Amino acid sequence: MVTHKTTEQASLTDTEKPVLRAKRVDVYYGNNLAVREVSLDIFQHKVIAFIGPSGCGKSTILRCFNRMNDLVPSAKVKGEITFKGKDIYAPKVDPVELRSQIGMVFQKPNPFPKSIYENIAFGARINGYKGDMDQLIEESLKKAALWDEVKDKLKQSGLALSGGQQQRLCIARAIAVAPEVILMDEPCSALDPISTLKIEELIQELKLQYTIIIVTHNMQQASRVSDYTAFYNAEATDDGDKIGYLVEYDDTETIFQSPQQQATQEYVSGRFG
């Protein structure tokens, strides 16, 4: 794989087109610039880790990719984000349709207070799934490595599962809509080490079919699961606001072994701040 860099964006390979591409993206909350000039390319069937100190804008950028930021009234996105070559912030793009192609898993497991079955069926149903629902539910749960644990209690409440199981249910729910990209915002931060490991293994399985962006504060996790890593940092402005930016984006090995920037080096080795 050829790796080269331009001044504006870290383009990691030119052998294929990126699925998602951010070009000089600025995000504002109200009048405050929260993240500035983020440019990066995300390639198919890879796992990309977003790392960086708290408040540097990892979640903010992540939410731009499926336009969840639209739901924050004060949020404003400038610059360009393309999904398979098309600008996702163009007026004719329907965020509802976009979100069915780019799924999301949240920090805190948030299954619907309904049965396990209904949790997965909902997304498929609203997106007009025409196939066999029972089969889809079994497949999704198998892909999320949850089937064996719940196959006898599909009618039970999703809330009756453990935290780790709930998170895998949320992943199954996202998969059932057949997205191309899955965004995960600290999906393991509320889980015990064993559940975390299960989800990490799951991510390795899933990347054969999906492109995954995962935000994590866990350096080992980033180095274990990801192919590429983006390191974000924040700098303070004169009036005390913090503005996040992308420091370095490269394949994970480079980021962890021989990063270009000193800040990255310090952060990944735990000598940051």
Partner 1 sequence: MIEKTAQNSNHDRSNLYDTALKKRYGIDNIFAVATWSAISISVIVLAVLLIDVCIDGIPKLNWNFLTSFPSRNPEEAGLLSALVGTIWMMITVAAVSFPLGVGAGIYLEEFASDNWFNRLVEININNLAGVPSIIYGLLGLQVFVRLFEPMTGGRSILSGSLTIALLILPVIIVSTREALRSIPDSLRLAGYALGATKWQIIWEHIFPLAIPGILTGTILALSRGIGETAPLITIGALTFISFLPENLQSAFTVLPIQIFNWVSRPQPEFHDLAAAGIIVLMVVLMVMNAGAIILRNKFQKKF
Ligand X SMILES: Nc1ncnc2c1ncn2[C@@H]1O[C@H](COP(=O)(O)OP(=O)(O)OP(=O)(O)O)[C@@H](O)[C@H]1O
Question: Is residue 28 helix, strand or coil?
Answer: strand
Q: Which is nearer to ligand X, 137 or 268 (CB)?
A: 268
Choosing among ligand X, partner 1, Mg ion, none, which partner's interface includes residue 164 (Cβ < 5 to 8 Å by kind)? none
Separation of alpha carbons 51 and 214, rounded Å: 9
Q: Which of 159, 182, 189 is nearest to 46 (CA)?
A: 182
Strands 228-236 and 20-29, by their bridges, are: unpaired
- 59 part of the interface to Mg ion, by CB under 5 A: yes
Please give the Cα distance from 39 to 23 (Å, whole number). 4
Among 11, 26, 28, 29, binds ligand X (CB under 6 A): 29
Is residue 96 within the footprint of partner 1 (CB under 8 A)? yes
Calculate ∠ Cα 36-272-186, nearest 5°.
Answer: 65
Q: Does 124 bind ligand X (CB under 6 A)?
A: no
Question: Judged by CB under 8 A, which stretch of 138-146, 166-174, 191-199, 258-266 contacts partner 1?
Answer: 166-174
Q: Residue 223's binding partner, choosing from Mg ion, partner 1, ligand X, none, with beta-carbon cut-off 5 to 8 A by kind?
A: none
Task: Say which entry of ligand X, Mg ion, partner 1, none residue 36 contacts (CB below 5 to 8 A, set by partner kind).
Answer: none
DSSP 8-class letter at 115: B
Nearest CA to 81 out of 103, 101, 97, 66 is that of 66
Q: Applying CB under 8 A, does 170 fall inside the site for partner 1?
A: yes
Instruction: Quote the CA–CA distance of 12 and 26 in Å, as a whole number.
Output: 21
**Spatial separation of the C-alpha atoms in residues 87 and 204, rounded to whole Å:** 29
Residue 55 interacts with ligand X (CB under 6 A): yes or no: yes
Write out the residues near ligand X by the rule CB under 6 A.
29, 34, 54-60, 72, 74, 242, 244
- The residues of the shown chain that bind partner 1, judged by CB under 8 A, are 66, 68, 71, 73, 96-101, 103-104, 106, 108, 110-115, 122-123, 126-127, 157, 159, 170, 173-174, 177
